[in-house]
Structure 1
Amino acid sequence: MKKLRFICVLLTLFALAHASQAVNKSFYFTTSDGVQLYVRMAGEGKPCLFIHGGPGSWTKYFYALGGDVVEQDMTMIYVDQRGCGRSSSSESKDYSLARVVQDFEELREHLGYNKWMLMPHSFGGTIATEYAYQHPKRVSAAIFVNSTLYLNDALESYVKNGARLLGKPESEFRKTGGSIGEALNGVASQLNQQGVMYKMMYPKKEMFDQMNAVMDTTINWDFGSKVWDFPEYTQDFTIKSASLKMPVLVISGNNDLSVGPEHYKLFKFKNATYRPMDTGHCPYQEQTALFHQHVKAFLAKVK
């Protein structure tokens, strides 16, 4: 009898140790319309879907530049969106917001999670807000990292702050009848010519260089080239944020000139904690320890 009890204890300990092991794997998931999505899972704890920005970038820039620190607290699910990074393109060129949201929902079902957290960065904020709006019962919490919820406001901020960096009046870039996109291109072109483009994202150029070193020029950029054919991405998602009730952590950068240092003040989440940081666009890279501290403190309060 004692031997049997000993064996049972060993089996229990083995099961607990196995259950607590961190996940570290990557695979391709096929969506219902045949797109191959690159998925990487790493870490341990509650599941959290990372939604990258760009639009059209990939997930590697986050976990390769310090963001992987959150894998100590959560099982991170990194997905290169359709037409992005290591994922395949859509044969029908369906890069609609509804289809991207469906991709994530199909993946959640495939992984067997009843709920998961969301962690969008930059442009990913628009997609995350729509996903939570469409599937509120599937989102336990969300961590918005320097996220855009209203693209037009972010673009206006970019033009304003870019012109200031160039020491020129905004009027020089805003032509009569011209679009905000044209003004943006004019500002970006001159910032690039003067070698100060990095200041829109980072206070320090070496951080910008680190980010560029992670980017791969061979990655799929189909989504990034087609996204503007779908006007739904430009809607004001702060309106939808007002109906979302899950716990939300909003991290922003006081020196983030690409989204706008005060962009987060437009958000209307009902249950939000705001943590502005003295960083640019990528707090996980610039102040990794403090970024992790804010995330851990938030997770401690999430059921």
Structure 2
Amino acid sequence: MVKAVPAGAALMLAGCAPAANTGGGRADAPAHAAAPGLRPGVHEVQINGVRLWYRVAGRAPAGVAPVVFLHGGPGQGSTHFDELAGDPMERSLAMVYLDQRGSGRSERPPSGEYSIALLVEDLEELRQHLGVPRIGLIGHSFGALLALEYAKKYPANVSGIVFTSGLWDTPYQCRLRLQRVAELRPEAYARVAADTLARDGTRRNDCELEFQAFRTREEKAAYDTEIMYPDPAIEVRMDSVNAAHGIRNTGELGRAIFQGGLLQYRFTAFDRITMPVLVIAGWHDGAARPAGLRELASRLPNARFVEYERSGHFPYLDEPERFARETAAFFSATVAKR
């Protein structure tokens, strides 16, 4: 059930700044439709018992569905994308910047209920609230997984997917990640290379081995910066934007998703993803390595793979103009192909 929430209710959200334009002061361009849920600006709506926050901005050509950005983390929030990448996106698309439950300015559910299935239903309820038959999806990292899961259940409701630096087969992609550890930190890899079996004799997950290869959190954090940010200043900018708006990842959503089996997750319903998909990888990305994303594109019936040579895990920040240009062209072409 969807229930609109008065704008002033933003102040009721725990740990949330007052509802405001999160686009760094830029004006909201008219949205492509006059439906109340798609009016430009900040919205809050109660969906499945949780107050969700989203912002609408930009204008799309006639027939191009509004595009919902699904952030990663899990729990990262959409503010950094909105503020640092939003301007070029909004020139050609009607953008919906959504904070998933427990993320950004959206409410942390009092019940503590989180799951991939529930996040998918939140998105479907949002689509209905927007008042449109279809939405486009830009999924980043964990958000790309959500895009696939939503499209699997509601294929008729999706115009197209931009799958960016995303997760789709955790065991396989973790194996690629661990190979990167071996390349960049051979001394760290050597600590776990001979310890691949769990007590019950099964093979341990490669992401667990990656975590355990590093002796301290600081050592792991430095490595993560190296494999995700070819330009470390991008991470500093993201952190500064989130701090300025009082946004932080509480870890609540992430813990629940990992406890729900994320390390064993595999997407296999490739035949359900019949809509166009643009798979984008960053050449420098050691978190979602290009080889793994190329493999996904080869398994989808209507996908194209693109590699950004100057990008890491955040192509929309490393190469924002190219990302916006190619994304706009992709979603415009979904109209012509209908």
Normalised by the length of structure 2, the TM-score is 0.77
2:141 aligned partner: 122
TM-aligned CA distance change 1:295 to 1:28, over 3 Å: same
Q: Who is 2:241 aligned against?
A: 214
Structure 1 unaligned blocks of 5 or more? 1-16
Match of 1:62 in 2: 81
Counterpart AA for 2:45: F
Q: Percent identity?
A: 29
3-state DSSP of counterpart to 2:187: coil
For residue 228 of structure 2, what is the amino acid of its counterpart? M
The one of 247, 256, 265 aligned to 1:235: 265
Q: CA deviation at 1:233?
A: 7.3
Which residue number corresponds to residue 39 of structure 1?
Answer: 54
What does residue 327 of structure 2 align with?
295
Aligned partner of 1:253 in structure 2 is 282
Q: Quickly say closer, same or farther: Cα 1:27–1:219, change in 2 above 3 A.
A: farther
Query: Which secondary structure does the structure 2 equivalent of 1:206 belong to?
Result: helix
Q: Which amino acid aligns with 2:93?
A: M
Trace 1:100-179 onto structure 2 (pairs within 5 A).
100-168=119-187, 170-174=189-193, 175-178=195-198, 179=204
Shift of 1:196: 4.1
Matched to 2:40, the amino acid is N
The CA deviation at 1:300 is 3.5
Three-state SS of the structure 1 residue aligned to 2:225 is: helix
Conservation of the 8 A alpha-carbon contact between 2:165 and 2:281: yes
Runs of 4+ in 1 over 3 A off after TM superposition: 17-24, 187-192, 194-197, 215-221
Q: Secondary structure at the match of 1:119?
A: strand
Q: CA RMSD in A?
A: 2.5
Matched residues in 1 for 2:42 and 2:214: separation? 36
Uncovered stretches (5+) of structure 2, i.e. residues with no partner: 1-29, 199-203
For the pair shown, the structure with the greater C-alpha radius of gyration is: 1
Specify the alignment match of 1:9 in structure 2.
none
Q: Distance in 2 between matches of 1:88 and 1:259?
A: 29
Deviation of residue 247 (structure 1)? 1.1
Q: 2:42 aligns with which of 17, 20, 26?
A: 26
Number of aligned residue pairs: give it.
285
- Give, in whole Å, the separation in 2 of the partners of 1:212 and 1:186: 25
Contact 1:275 1:294 (8 Å CA) reproduced: no
Q: CA deviation at 1:188?
A: 5.2
Partner of 1:11: none
Cross-structure match for 1:269: 300
Q: How much has 1:18 moved relative to structure 2? A: 9.3
